[in-house]
């Protein structure tokens, strides 16, 4: 019988851990790794990390903190 390691390597790469890609707090789309997005703490409460994509930043689209309700562009 094949070892577990040999079985896994014959099937290709294994997903070991799920990832949580960043999502724009304004439009809800994924923020790509090389996109000029930005990550920052909420200016009001500081306990939530907000992400904004390049397009929402340049257009000044409103975002809302899900914890304290702070709104800002």
Q: Provide mean pLDDT across the span 29-38.
A: 91
Q: Provide mean pLDDT across the span 10-39.
A: 83
Burial environment of residue 72 by CB neighbours within 10 A (0 to 12, 13 to 18, 19 or more): middle
2 within some domain: no
47 against 13, higher pLDDT: 47
1 within some domain: no
Please enumerate in sequence order all residues whose Cβ is within 8 A of that of 54, keeping only pairs 6 or more positions apart, or say none: 35, 36, 37
Q: What is the mean pLDDT of the chain?
A: 85
Q: Which domain holds residue 29?
A: 21-72
Q: Which two tokens stand for residue 58?
A: 């340049």
Distance between CA atoms of residues 31 and 34, nearest Å: 8
> So what's the pLDDT on residue 31?
93
* Whether residue 17 has pLDDT greater than 90: no
31 within some domain: yes
Strands (E), 7-57: 38-41, 49-52
54 within some domain: yes
């Amino acid at each position: 019988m094949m070892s577990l390691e040999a079985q896994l390597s014959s099937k290709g790469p294994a997903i070991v851990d799920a990832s949580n890609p960043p999502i724009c707090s304004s439009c809800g789309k994924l923020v790509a790794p090389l996109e000029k997005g930005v990550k920052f703490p909420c200016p009001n409460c500081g306990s939530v990390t907000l992400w904004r994509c390049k397009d929402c930043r340049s257009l000044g689209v409103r975002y809302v903190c899900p914890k304290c309700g702070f709104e800002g562009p």
